[in-house]
Each structure stands twice: as C-alpha cells, then as structure tokens.
Amino acid sequence: MSTKKMGRPPSDKPKSRTIEIRVDQEIMNKLDASAEKLNTTRSDIVRKGIEKVYDDLQK
C-alpha cells in the first residue's frame, strides 16, 4: 500500500497570512457584486485590487 497522503497538493505560494479590515455596507455590496460578476471569491477581488494599486504605483 502507498504511504502517500491524500488531499490537496502543497501550493507553490501558500496563503498563510491573514488580514482583517472593517468596511461599510456599501463597500461590502460592491465587493460581493464584483465577486459574483467575476465568479470568484472576495479574497481574490481584494488580491487583484492590491496588485492593481501596486502596479499603478510602479508606473
């Protein structure tokens, strides 16, 4: 019998850090609408936003 572990394979970039923010209802509605429209998660939308701001600052 194999001794391989079952489950997901290890990630190249594990997401081990957590941030918590406070937002008003309007921002939460925009975040949820964006995630639904792009068929992704809230976290992915926030990551994309951070990348966009960072890229804009590098210009």
Flag whether 13 is in a domain. no
pLDDT surpassing 70 at residue 1: no
pLDDT the model gives residue 4? 73
pTM: 0.77
> How many domains is the chain built from?
1
pLDDT the model gives residue 46? 97
pLDDT the model gives residue 2? 62
Flag whether 46 is in a domain. yes
Flag whether 5 is in a domain. no
pLDDT surpassing 90 at residue 13: no
Give residue 49's domain range: 25-58
pLDDT the model gives residue 5? 76
Tens digit of each residue's pLDDT (9 = 90 or more) over 20-55: 999 999 999 999 999 999 999 999 999 999 999 999
Assess contact for 35 and 49: CB atoms under 8 A. Answer: no
Flag whether 3 is in a domain. no
Label residue 13 left, alpha or beta by phi (over 0 means left) and psi (-120 to 50 means alpha): beta
